[in-house]
Amino acid sequence: MNIIFQAFKRYYSNINPSDLHIIELEKREIALIPFKEERMIRHISFKDLTSLKNYLENNVPLHLYYSSAYYGNPQAEDMNAKCWEGADLIFDVDADHIPTDCKNLHDKWFCLNCNEYGFGVPPEDCPKCKQRKIDVTTWICEKCLDIAKEEVLKLIDEYLVPDFGINSKDIEICFSGHRGYHIHIQLEDFRKLSGDGRREIADYVRGIGIDLRAHGLRLINGIVFGPDIRDPGWRGRIARAFYEYISKSSIEELEKILGKKAELIISKREKILDSMMMNGTKWFIPKGIGIKKISKIVEVAIKRNLCNIDERVTIDIKRLIRYPNSLHGKTGLKVCRLSYSNLNKFDPLKDAVVFKSGSIKIYVKEVPKIRMEDYELGPIKNEVLEVPESLAIYLICKGAAEMGK
């Protein structure tokens, strides 16, 4: 790990203190995991950026965090004595929480008890020995990162801006340095929200607990009334999802929900869509398809509108979260701060790379197919080879390689 330590030390020695800027630094708890031990060092605080920078230079962190919360006494060890004053609203979008096909190619789990192993999303307990001692090796891949990015855009474009009225200028996005993004809302309006209030926000974007009746879906006198596709919020989202599902789904997909009655929808498809477009709330639904079936279609249809966030991060009002412009100790990549307009063209495997000096000889134990910058590698096993510094650091951080002899 010496090479990693040296590289990280170099990074923190050369960093411009202003790159460590966060809102109200003096009210935040800073925490880090040092190189020597696994234990987290917590409850530290800094009055200004220069003292933080000096500290990091002398206590090089493998991982660096700050509190989403603002405290009166951020350095107090007892949580009650910290004097919580508020917290940023945070959303965590991580490829770990989004099922993707490519995980079968690059994520591997194995059982520490019986050495059984497999690929893709890890099981809770070992299928062979039933023990819960599963270790996981996950890899960054472009596909996973793209899906995480799409999820972030969905969260912002479909929820944060139109529904919650948050200006895209007030949304700070951070690439986590690994497989996801953190979205920070630092507006005064949201700071005082309780954990319960934040849970409502998390449930809102995850579509948990929707009551379709509350959004206007009901049967009156044998006629189906639903929300208008032009309505704001979940009302319109429900209507549009239903509209899109009806217009695009195949008979096979509909049969899964409706059985033989799928034919009714297919034959009257145009009429249904027209009624939603023209009449708004008065939906034309063929006789024989009741409100329960419609609800089922809606439930399936809205799935793609739901945001896959890790709700625990949003609900927690005292979360420690990765420090912008710090380095991720499992990848060596930079926790990049992005604006909304920069997100689209951001390529984490290029733009988050900091170590770019020359190449290094390493011994690779086992690696699936990966890319770093423009360099592609793998799948390979037990090989000594020379690779660009960024890739060497990434693989050593992962524990998949050692310095070559």
Sites of contact with another protein (CB under 8 A) = 80, 162-166, 189-190, 192-194, 196-197, 199-201, 203-204, 207-211, 214-216, 227, 231-235
Spatial CA neighbour of 171 closest among 342, 351, 375: 342
Give the nearer residue to another protein in terms of CB position, either 59 or 194. Answer: 194
| 328 residue type, one letter | H
Through-space distance between the first and last CA atoms of the chain, rounded to whole angstroms: 15
d(Cα 200, Cα 335) in Å, to the nearest integer? 28
Give the nearer residue to another protein in terms of CB position, either 210 or 309. Answer: 210
- The secondary structure of 215-233, three-state, reads HCCEEECCEEECCCCCCCH
Min dist. Cβ of residue 121 to another protein (A): 16
Sign of CA dihedral 320, 321, 323, 324: negative
- Residue 63 tokens read as 């991982």
d(Cα 383, Cα 403) in Å, to the nearest integer? 12
Distance of CA 51 to the CA centre of its chain: 31
Min dist. Cβ of residue 232 to another protein (A): 3
How many CA atoms are closer than 13 Å to the CA of 66, on its beta-carbon side?
A: 26
Give the nearer residue to another protein in terms of CB position, either 165 or 358. Answer: 165
Min dist. Cβ of residue 189 to another protein (A): 5
- Residue 307 tokens read as 């945001």
Min dist. Cβ of residue 199 to another protein (A): 7
Min dist. Cβ of residue 218 to another protein (A): 12
Give the nearer residue to another protein in terms of CB position, either 80 or 382. Answer: 80
| 21 residue type, one letter | H
Give the nearer residue to another protein in terms of CB position, either 215 or 328. Answer: 215
Give the nearer residue to another protein in terms of CB position, either 201 or 401. Answer: 201
Min dist. Cβ of residue 377 to another protein (A): 38
- 164 CB burial (10 A radius; 0-12, 13-18, 19+): middle
DSSP for 302-342, please give it: GGGGS----HHHHH-TT-EEEPTT-B-TTT--B--EE-HHH
Min dist. Cβ of residue 156 to another protein (A): 14
Give the nearer residue to another protein in terms of CB position, either 121 or 403. Answer: 121
- Residue 339 tokens read as 């604006």
Min dist. Cβ of residue 315 to another protein (A): 10
The three-state secondary structure class of 202 is helix
Min dist. Cβ of residue 129 to another protein (A): 17
- Residue 302 tokens read as 């809205």
Specify whether the CB–CB gap between 92 and 182 falls below 8 A.
yes
Min dist. Cβ of residue 175 to another protein (A): 27
- The secondary structure of 73-108, three-state, reads CCCCCCHHHHCEEEECEEEEEEHHHCCCCCHHHHCE
Specify whether the CB–CB gap between 322 and 61 falls below 8 A.
no
Give the nearer residue to another protein in terms of CB position, either 21 or 192. Answer: 192
